[in-house]
Structure 1
Amino acid sequence: MSEKLDLYKIFCVVSKNSSFSKAAKDLFMTQPAISQAIMQLERELDTRLFYRTTKGVTLTTEGSVLFEYASSALKLIDTGEEKILEFKNLTAGELKIGVGDTISRFFLLPYLEEFHNKYPSIKFTIVNGTTTELCAILKAGEVDIAFCNFPVEDDSLGQRPCLEVQDIFVYGEKFNKVLSKPISLNELVKLPLIFLESKSISRRYVEDYMLSKGVKISPEFELGSHDLLLEFAKINLGIACVTKQFAKEYLNKGILKEVQLKEDIPKRNIGVCFLKRVPLSTAATKFVDLIE
């Protein structure tokens, strides 16, 4: 195919110059090589493409038709190569990212800003969802990368940890007395608990850990967002299980306090997921490198 493409390139240059010798100079080839290439193309097409004269060459009727199509095709190929180069140089393109609201707000935003400042021509598309939903749309090819709560159990996905986080329990002033000293998990579950929905990866991680200690939870409230957990705890509706790194504003201002557990929940990670079998685009690679 590449040899045939070369023949058409030579054909178009000869057509534009109406001369084998001028085409040879433009292409840095010998005149006999140009002549051989045109004869080869004419043999393959079983059609005469040029009238040869002492003053040069002119296109036959068939040659004129072929030139119109070949010239257009070569221009489209050149345009396509230019677009590919733009993508590689990040002067054009799109980056589709899957991420949950909480991770986006408390972790990803500064990186989005920095990347946009470096590569302003790259268009962002942000798709929101839970970790389970994001993994599904990632596998469907609807996003390039997804930022998720780890662990993610899926062998088809590559995973790179980006941030270590700690799950904690927080409470409002109503519970100051009962939680004035460290307590065990068994004591904790006797209090009204507020958790994310059961389909949440972070919820399952904490729940599985507590079950491994022989402690079963029965939440008073199951909510759909991390912000709601904090707000429900703030108005004393219960003890909320939250991510410490994403609750700093409430903790630093003294709006909520952290439950002192006798045994901390093991830390986990938030990270980026991608399809193992599909190479990352240049934009996606640069974005992941920026975060790491």
Structure 2
Amino acid sequence: MVIKLDLYKVFCKVAKSESFSKAAKDLYLTQPAVSQAIMQLERELDTRLFNRTPKGVSLTNEGSLLFEYVNSAINLIDVGEEKILEFKNLTAGELKIGVGDTISKYFLLPCLEAFHNRYPNIKFYIVNGTTVELCSILKSGEVDIAICNLPIDDPTLELRPCFDIQDTFVYGEKFKKIFSKPLSFQELVKLPLIFLEPKSNSRKYVEDYMISKGIKISPEFELGSHDLLLEFAKINLGIACVTKEFSQEYLNKGLVYEVQLNEEIPKRNIGVCFLKSVPLSPASTKFVEIIENK
């Protein structure tokens, strides 16, 4: 098994560099040794893994499938080795966190500051993405924990809700007359709506709730960031679906106004996610404690 693991490491390096010679240089091996390793792996699997051309190599379909699993496995092994080293009183190491831009800006920054003040030698590595993207890189071992919009339906992940949030709608000065009294969802969807893009977990939560009420939405605008939702609403381009807790600055300054609805969308959570099958490192454990005590 140890020998095959070495072969898989060579396989991943060749796949990423698309060159036997570049992989050999990175691995401090000769090019013939790398070629031999790949041929040995292909013989053992009875499958051609690379297309060879004068310009380099590329993965076959079978090679691409294998790479997806092997790369994740090697990443997890590397993470495991790193976690062992971190047991030295958090005097060195790295904390890899997956988080979305909005949660990072409005929720995570104070936690990062508190952790850094206590453990200044731990380096941060922050990866941004949507909730779906963060769950994927979490399971591949690229990050230790992810701070995500809940709910998430994934039995492989441990989910710890930390902070309640309220979805709401906001509008600009132009729409003030329309909202002189509370509106129903049926009345609201007749207006020009501004939502996050469909792959957003926040968008999906609100959309699923409205569908459960028999209401289908058809937004005028679908945007990639929460800040843009507020900006579009401010200049009267429509009614934006936003997170109330992340919109307080705009609301307090009177840049936008909150829609009064006949009923509220049920609250949801922001939470910490990590793999059930992989123990948290000491650094991750301490960071989760800071978030839960926020």
Task: State TM-score, norm by structure 2.
Answer: 0.70
Name the structure 1 match of 2:200.
Answer: 200
- 1:87–1:93 CA contact under 8 A, matched in 2: no
In the TM superposition, residue 84 of structure 1 has moved relative to its aligned partner by 5.5
Question: Shift in Å at residue 194 of structure 1?
Answer: 0.1
Tell me how far 1:183 sits from its aligned partner.
Answer: 0.3
Matched, 1:229 2:218: no
Counterpart of 2:90 in structure 1 is 90
Query: Is the Cα–Cα contact under 8 Å of residues 88 and 282 in structure 1 kept in the other structure?
Result: no
Structure-1 residue corresponding to 2:149: 149
String of CA shifts for 1:29-73, please: whole Å, max 9, x gaps.
Answer: xxxxxxxxxxxxxxxxxxxxxxxxxxxxxxxxxxxxxxxxxxxxx
Letter in 2 for 1:124: F
Structure 1 residues 131-160: Cα deviation after superposition (integer angstroms, max 9, x where no partner): 000000000000000000000110000000
Q: Relative to structure 1, is the Cα distance of residues 169 and 92 closer, same or farther in structure 2, using a 3 angstrom cutoff?
A: same
Contact 2:85 2:93 in 1 (8 A): no
- Which residue is equivalent to 1:46? none
1:105 counterpart letter in structure 2: K
Q: Are the structure 2 counterparts of residues 132 and 84 from structure 1 closer, same or farther at C-alpha, using a change threshold of 3 Å?
A: closer
1:86 deviates by 5.9
Verify: 1:185 aligned to 2:185, yes or no. yes
1:237 aligned counterpart, secondary structure: coil
User: CA shift at 1:291, angstroms?
Assistant: 1.2
Q: Using the TM superposition, give the Cα deviation of residue 237 of structure 1 relative to its aligned residue in structure 2, in angstroms.
A: 0.1
Q: Deviations over 1:266-288 (max 9, x none)?
A: 00000010000000000000000
Match of 2:238 in 1: 238
**Which residue pairs with 1:276 in the alignment?**
276
Paired residue type of 1:221: F
SS in structure 2 of the partner of residue 151 of structure 1: coil
| Contact 1:131-1:148 within 8 A present in 2 as well | yes
CA–CA distance in structure 2, aligned partners of residues 213 and 160 of structure 1: 28
Alpha-carbon deviation of 1:180? Answer: 1.3
CA separation of 1:280/1:214 partners in 2, compared to 1, >3 Å: closer, same or farther? same
Q: CA RMSD in A?
A: 1.1
Q: 1:171 touches 1:256 (CA, 8 Å); kept in 2?
A: yes
**Structure 1 SS opposite 2:214:** coil
SS in 2 for 1:177: coil
Counterpart position of 2:117: 117
Q: CA deviation at 1:181?
A: 0.9
CA distance, structure 2, for counterparts of residue 86 and residue 209 of structure 1: 43
Question: Aligned equivalents of 2:247 and 2:113: distance in 1?
Answer: 22
Q: How do residues 1-292 of structure 1 correspond to structure 2 at under 5 angstroms?
A: 87-292=87-292
AA of the residue aligned to 1:159: L
Please give the secondary structure, in 2, of the residue aligned with 1:158: strand
Which runs of 5 or more residues in structure 1 are unaligned?
1-82
Distance 2:258 2:146 in 1: 30
Q: State the TM-score, normalizing by the size of structure 1.
A: 0.71
Q: 1:235 to 1:244 in 2, by over 3 A?
A: same
Q: Secondary structure at the match of 1:263?
A: coil
> Which one-letter code corresponds to 1:190 in the other structure?
K
Identity percentage of aligned residues: 78
CA drift of 1:129 comes to 0.3
